Amino acid sequence: MKIDLNADIGESFGSHKMGNDEEIIKYITSASIACGFHGGDPLTIERTIKLALENKVAIGAHPSYNDLQGFGRRSIKISDEDLYSTILYQVGALKTMTEALGGKLRHVKPHGALYNDLANSLPKAKVVAEAIYKIDPELIFVGLSNSEIQNAAREVGLKSACEVFADRAYNDDGSLVSRHRYGAIFEDGDACMNQVKQILENQTVTSINGNSVDMCIHTIGVHADSKEALSFVKDFHKFLKEKNIKPASLRL
């Protein structure tokens, strides 16, 4: 068995430091790099791409709504035309920078509110899928497990990957619990590991209400800016070795 572990990195900008990218990257197999709209700036993006290449980590784009002030966590109403160009701009820039530095872009994973909005809206998810396809039909569209993101990718002709977070709680319908609700984010490394073990062994998570929820799983996500991120990724690797599971980037 193989499994991908991805983290959202490159989200620092200007004087604002986010996460511990230099350490986290040693333990992940895929990196979703911010594209400048919620985090990241040109120099940070360049350095993060180089960091991923040095550590042989697969590179992905992490586009968002244009919401630097809100860190991309606010849902913004924009037209389909605007959404399409927003994705072209961010993913196109990340792809070009990656190639200029000798790498290859492998996947696209939306960030924050955009991630959640696309998971619940097939029309919006199709707009994004079409933009990704226009840039490179070989890119993998990564999103919430069993959501409209996979349906949109299928309709457009893109490969897609189901993601389950190690550090987030889920509702009974498989959606993410709102960050505004207590218990939505796991602050305890043990809680993260317990969820991962359940995901890998049973392909389920236990919802915030205590119910078992079936999950499609290709990649496990962790937020690099969380307090327990580094501790978790280290424990995750120990667990994989114990279970003879190989960490490997997405190959669909």
Confidence band (pLDDT; 50, 70, 90) for 65? very high
The residue behind tokens 């599971």 is 245
Name the pairing type of β-strands 204-206 and 212-214: antiparallel
**Domains held by the chain: number:** 1
Specify the pTM: 0.94
Residue 71 lies in a domain: yes
- Residues 6 or more apart whose Cβ sits within 8 Å of residue 97: 45, 46, 49
Q: 139-148: per-residue pLDDT in tens?
A: 999 999 999 9
Residue 144 lies in a domain: yes
pLDDT score for 15:
66
Average pLDDT over the chain, rounded to an integer:
93
Residue 123 lies in a domain: yes
Residue 115 lies in a domain: yes
Confidence band (pLDDT; 50, 70, 90) for 9? very high
At 225 the three-state DSSP class reads coil
| H helix runs in 15-64, sequence order | 21-24, 42-54
Residue 188 lies in a domain: yes
DSSP 42: H
pLDDT score for 252:
55
Structural domain range at position 91: 2-247
Residue 190 lies in a domain: yes
Spatial separation of the C-alpha atoms in residues 192 and 171, rounded to whole Å: 16
Q: 94-137: per-residue pLDDT in tens?
A: 999 999 999 999 999 999 999 999 999 999 999 999 999 999 99
- Residues 6 or more apart whose Cβ sits within 8 Å of residue 192: 166, 167, 186, 222, 228, 232, 235
Residue 252 lies in a domain: no
| H helix runs in the chain, sequence order | 21-24, 42-54, 80-100, 112-120, 122-135, 148-156, 189-202, 229-242
- Residue 42: give its domain's CATH number: 3.20.20.370
Chain centroid to CA 149: how far?
13
Q: DSSP per residue over 84-104, as a string?
A: HHHHHHHHHHHHHHHHHTT--
